[in-house]
Every structure is written in C-alpha cells, then in structure tokens.
Chain A
Amino acid sequence: MKLKQLEGLLGSLQQFSNPKVELEQYPTGPHIASRLLYMAENTFGDINGKVVADFGCGCGTLGIASALLGAEHVIGIDVESQSLEIASKNAADLELDIDFIWCDIKNLGWRDQLVNTVVMNPPFGTRKKGSDMEFLSIALKVASGAVYSLHKTTTRDHIKRTALRDCNAKSAEVLCELRFDVPQLYKFHKKKEVDVAVDLWRFVL
C-alpha cells in the first residue's frame, strides 16, 4: 500500500465526538499516523506478519493502520468504552479484524512475549503527570520486538534515560520530530490550533 493511500484511508476514520480532557483524548492525525506506521513497516519490518498492540487506541487509528499494512493480529486497548465503540466501527467499515480490550493499560494482566510490536500515541502527561511514562514502561515490558511512541520533545532526555536505564530497552532513537497540531477541542484552549513539538520514538527490546 502506498503512503498516500494509507493516509487517505486513515483520514476517513471517525474521530472522538466528545473528547475527554482528563484522558487527553487528542486524535492521532492521519498524516502522523500514516508516516509512523509506514516507517515501522518499510524501514524496520515491524508490522507485516506481526502481533501488534495499540495502547490507548482511542478511535483505533494506529491499530487500523497496522492491520492495513498486514499485521497478522492487532489488539487495541482503551479505558474508555465510547472510543472502543468508534474504533470497532472504524475497523468494521474497512473490513479489518481487530481485537479490542476495554481496560486501563496499567491494570492489564498480560502474558509477556506474545506481542511483537506496540504502537501508541499515549497521553502526553500534561493533565495527569506521569501517564506518558506509565504507558511507555508497560509497552516496553509487553513488547518483545519494538515500541513506537509519540512524546513531547521537551521530555526527550528523560524518556531516553528511563527507557535505557529502567526499562531495559536495547536502544531508544528519535526517528523524527513532528509538529502535532492539537485542534481546539477543549474550552481551555485559547488559540484555535496549537502546534506541539513531538518526537516519534522507536525503542528496541
């Protein structure tokens, strides 16, 4: 599948109708999502024929992109039932078989080694401090191959240190720096659209 085609399909997905601020529910835009998954597959071969988990899947964008690029089995996990409903409808519309689990990532009982790759756009930890690191440490525990994740550029040193020192990652690399445009979803957003500098990371286990 071509990048443009992937981006187009992801652009057709339904997004949050009523986003919840405490969960930092920002949709992962089709531009970023398609590039993240395209790189994971075409540069590193981490998607096709693999078991892929999407942590905090929201409306399912990253998991759906993984399925479109040939993941053998995709699991999307989210704490919020409305998101999962939209995600499973999105997957069904594209005739993709994706498993969804309704669960808080930090409480999930999970046998290690079965998941090859975790892809995620975790909360940035802006509203609830530390939630970004919580997602990351669990992803690094669950995945046997690689973790792809988006984090604020301002946390770069901290992320690298934690991944290598505390979570036993073999490597932690910023693949590229992106502008994440957070549209005015919430009342406390004063500007119409805010650009946040975000790193796309690849961690190897």
Chain B
Amino acid sequence: MAKPRIAIFDLACCEGCQLQIVNMEDELVQLLTLVNPVEWREAMSDQSSNYDIAIIEGSVTRSADEMRVRDIRIRAKYVIALGACAMQGGVNKLKNNFSLQEVKKEVYGYAADQAQFDTFRTKALAEVIKVDFEVPGCPIEASELAHVIKCLLTGRRPKLAEHPVCVECKMKGNCCRYEYDEVCLGPITRAGCDARCPSNGFWCFGCRGILPDANMDAAREAAALHGKSFAVLQSKLELFGSE
C-alpha cells in the first residue's frame, strides 16, 4: 500500500494536542517515514484535497466549522477525534452553561452583535459527523495517538482502556486525594494516562472523559463518605465536557 495520506485540522481549541505530536520529536521523524503528511497548517504550508486519515482537534462552535468538518468527512477515509475538545467538547462546553448572548456580551461588550462573533453551542465532533477513532485526554498522550495510527496502518482496531483512573492510581501507590479532603474524578474517568494528576499531587478532573458504564452511584457514595456533595462532583464533571 502507498503511504497513507494524513492531514491534521484544528477547530476551536488550544492546539495543545497538536503540540504533543510535535513533542514526539524523534518518534515523529520515524512516523513520518510511514505516512505522508499532506496538510498540517500549524507546521507546513501545503494544502491538500483528499486524505486517508484526517485527524481533527478542537470543538465545533460555529456554522463555518460545521461545514468544514462535513467537507473533511467526505474527503477522508478515517476520521480521528484528537483530544477532549473533539471527543467530548472539553473545556469549550463550559460555554453551554450560559446563553450565547450572555457570553458574547461578557467578552465583546457593546460589539457583541457583530457578524464575526458568530458562535453556537459547543458540539463534540461526533455530534456533527461520524468519528472512526478517538484519542482522549487534554492534552492527548502522544503514545496513544502513535498506537492508534500504527493500528490503522496494520489493519487492527485500536482499543481504549475500559477501567477507571483509580486502577492505575492504586498501582502507582499514590495516597488517595480523598484522604486530603479533595474531590477526585478518578473512580469514573477512563484510564490510560497512568493516573497522571493524582501521581503529581493533584486530583483527576476527568479530562479523558467519563467511562460509558461509570458507576455514578458509587462515585456519589464515595464523595458523600468524605463529606462532599454531589454538586461539588458535578461542578468538577462539567469542567471537561462530561455531564
């Protein structure tokens, strides 16, 4: 097979996930021998019209973006949602807690009604187009993206972890954040980051998204046991686009 044509696109986001691709450095140079990058605005001047793999970072927040991703979908064989912004809306979903007029006014004041501030409720990529694969995290773990691409190149189906962050956290021997009187989303969040935050003295804030079969009741009970209300848990859940 000819080298697959890969393109990377960004919508509303911080471009931190793309940065993890750059940060692969040596490994990136190696990966570049296996694929043919045809469009990557942040790193190259070239543009292309069709791709085997389209990697999309960021959330859909306006009609122009919606048209753009539909167009990318038509041109691409596989679409990968890169990071929390694309996968579940990420921090951008916080905007949905307010009316659009309210957020525009807050930021742009008297000029809020001008046309360039066209914006709608934040959507994850899968709310607009079919997504073939997802790479979770805010930012992604570069090794996970490399794994997904390698799977695609060899015709295997990449799989995400189906257990919670707590499992990885306990394996690392961390002292639980609840013991420090903090609220941690580890019990319901998808693992795969090696419990990065609790391993660095901070609570898990759920950036990799909530497990599809997360035991919310258990999480609620754990929080209650430590004197935390569900509202506190809920407020943390909202941060990265989970409900």
A and B together in one complex: no
Interface residues of A (CB under 8 A from B): none
Interface residues of B (CB under 8 A from A): none
